[in-house]
Amino acid sequence: MTHKIKDNTVAVSTTVYWLPIDDGTPRNVKVLAISRERSGIAQQAEIRVNETWWTHWHPLPRFLDAS
């Protein structure tokens, strides 16, 4: 199984992890972003060059039949 249900409120991946924001983070494009310390709520966002709000990111998923 690739996920588990936590506290009957959220499905959490057991294989996919948030990526810390660093020099290799894509900038000015759509990604999933989250601030672990401030809100813990993921949002679709664009991380700017000098962004300080977001702490982690993840690329958007795609459909299996997409090429």
Contact 21, 49 (CB under 8 A): no
Contact 60, 32 (CB under 8 A): yes
- The phi-psi region of residue 27 (left if phi > 0; otherwise alpha if psi is between -120 and 50; otherwise beta) is beta
25-55: pLDDT as tens digits: 999 999 999 998 888 889 999 999 888 899 9
pTM: 0.81
Report the length, in residues, of the chain.
67
> Residue 65's pLDDT band (boundaries 50, 70, 90)?
confident
Q: How far is CA 52 from the centre of its chain?
A: 15
HEC assignment per residue over 5-34: EECCCEEEECCCCCEECCCCCCCCCEEEEE
